[in-house]
Amino acid sequence: MSMRKRIQLKVVLLGNSGVGKSALMNLYVNKRYSNFYKATIGADFLIRDITLDGKNITVQVWDTAGTERFQSLGSVLYRGVNCCILVFDVTSEASFRALDGWWKEFILQADPRDPDGFPFVVIGNKTDLSSIRAVSTKTAEDWCKARRLAYVETSVKEALNVEEAFRECVRLALKQLKSEDPHVDQPVQLQLNPGDAKPLGLCGCR
């Protein structure tokens, strides 16, 4: 008898305050959107169980305060992260310019085994505010291409591409895990000895 083991993934959201990290996490995990903004203090996380490409996965999503970059919490929070999502607000050029610092700070603090191959997804959020957009799609794509980072544009308000962004993150993380451990998603073989099996009574009790 075999059953597929559940894979545990840790994802962290980084970016300036107000770019929509908490909203992205809440929509992905709880399927809820609120336009009420409350700054995250320290860090928070939510968990979602998914099945992707036939694999059972538990995704632990960590949301961080946008002012946390130079605090000691970073090295603890980043430990064991399988994918990092960098978030900016397409209406804020300052949040886009800050991506470079967040990216480098994560690499420095997390110290991944393969910094060049570590899975990142960049999210350009709030595309519903197109009339006041300050960062073009091409500008963001060019920045990501230069660093070989995946890029997705989202709108939490319109529930646009949020699921797709996290799915890309999970796929990249799984690919990285597979390269480190080829047996990470192999079925677990459960062996039962003949003496372990007991007949069931009519009531269904052993």
The pLDDT-based confidence of 121 (bands split at 50, 70, 90) is: very high
The pLDDT value recorded for residue 76 is 77
The alpha-carbon radius of gyration of the chain (Å, integer) is 20
Residues in the chain: 206
The pLDDT-based confidence of 183 (bands split at 50, 70, 90) is: low
First and final C-alpha spacing in the chain: 20
Is domain 2-196 in CATH 1.10.260.40, yes or no? Answer: no
The pLDDT-based confidence of 186 (bands split at 50, 70, 90) is: low
The pLDDT-based confidence of 192 (bands split at 50, 70, 90) is: very low
The pLDDT-based confidence of 180 (bands split at 50, 70, 90) is: confident
30 — phi, psi (to 5°)? Answer: -100, -5
Q: What percent of the chain has a predicted confidence (pLDDT) above 90?
A: 63
Copy the structure tokens of residue 181: 């451990």
The pLDDT-based confidence of 179 (bands split at 50, 70, 90) is: confident
Bridge-based pairing state of the strands 55-64 and 7-14? parallel
Copy the structure tokens of residue 127: 């595309």
How far is the CA of 200 from the CAs of 44, 115, 157, 197, in angstroms?
A: 46, 54, 53, 9
Spatial separation of the C-alpha atoms in residues 96 and 80, rounded to whole Å? 26
Q: Are 48 and 61 in contact (CB under 8 A)?
A: yes
How far is the CA of 61 from the CAs of 11, 43, 139, in angstroms?
A: 5, 10, 27
Q: Is the pLDDT of residue 72 over 60?
A: no
Task: State the average pLDDT for the chain.
Answer: 84
